[in-house]
């Protein structure tokens, strides 16, 4: 089943040249038909598939999908619309800032699948570092997992220049302890959205992330 047509990609190319409210108002029905509704159908189907594997995921598409409208209050970029559609599939949906679920981003330049922990609170970050330090062998195993490396490459994140003293010695051998984020992403060409096996291609990223997701969840919950 193909969820999207070439009009999905073309809409964003046109939006890039006309990112203003007047143009969007004139083309809103086109947006809803070629972008919004197909993405809702895709996310609904992906949630149903992930739910079979993770019973904690009991959300609907509306809980997962982000609005296309940008928050421009504190941004120098005043263009009002995002250049992609996106959603978080996790127990808490798009409001879940901690659980390592699946963040999807479909746009005219790429399709990306993210996972991990992006905005941990201070205590959660401490727990993550503590668990990594005391489970170093397990951590290295999931980092080197063949499927994870093939589809995501590496664990990423911004780093602190200074970390609590109890982690400093361990950080010599495990520099990821300096991370204040622990996330990963895989990227595909935008035309992947036109393929009939899109849902299988995306679900493969979910499968590849399982060992890392399980490790991070244990690190958070202790």
Write out pLDDT tens, residues 77-127: 899 999 999 999 999 999 988 899 999 999 999 999 999 999 899 999 999
Half-sphere exposure of 180 (CA within 13 A, CB side): 10
- The whole-number pLDDT of residue 160 equals 96
153-163 per-position pLDDT tens digit = 999 999 999 99
What does pLDDT average to over the chain?
Answer: 96
Terminal-residue alpha carbon distance, the chain: 41
Q: Check: CB of residue 211 under 8 Å from CB of residue 142.
A: yes
Place of tokens 């690190």: 219
Once rounded to an integer, what is the mean pLDDT over residues 23-39? Answer: 98
| Percent of the chain with pLDDT strictly greater than 70 | 100
- pTM beyond 0.85: the answer is yes
């Amino acid at each position: 089943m193909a969820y999207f047509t070439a009009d999905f990609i073309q809409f964003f190319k046109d939006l890039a040249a006309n990112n203003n409210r007047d143009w969007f108002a004139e083309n809103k029905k086109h947006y809803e038909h070629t972008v919004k509704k197909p993405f809702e159908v895709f996310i609904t189907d992906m949630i149903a598939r992930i739910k079979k594997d993770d019973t904690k995921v009991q959300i609907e598409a509306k809980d997962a999908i982000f609005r296309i409208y940008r928050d421009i209050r504190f941004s120098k970029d005043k263009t009002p619309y995002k250049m992609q559609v996106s959603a978080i599939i996790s127990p808490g949906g798009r409001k879940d800032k901690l659980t390592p679920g699946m963040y999807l981003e479909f746009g005219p330049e790429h399709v990306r699948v993210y996972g991990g922990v992006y905005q941990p609170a201070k205590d959660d970050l401490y727990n993550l570092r503590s668990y990594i330090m005391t489970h170093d062998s397990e951590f290295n195993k999931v980092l080197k997992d063949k499927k994870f490396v093939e589809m995501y490459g590496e664990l990423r994140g911004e780093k602190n220049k200074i970390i609590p003293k109890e982690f400093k010695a361990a950080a010599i051998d495990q520099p990821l302890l300096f991370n204040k984020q622990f996330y990963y992403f895989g990227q595909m060409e935008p035309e992947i959205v036109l393929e009939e096996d899109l849902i299988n291609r995306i679900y493969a990223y979910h499968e590849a992330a399982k060992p890392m997701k399980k490790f991070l969840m244990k690190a958070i919950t202790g």
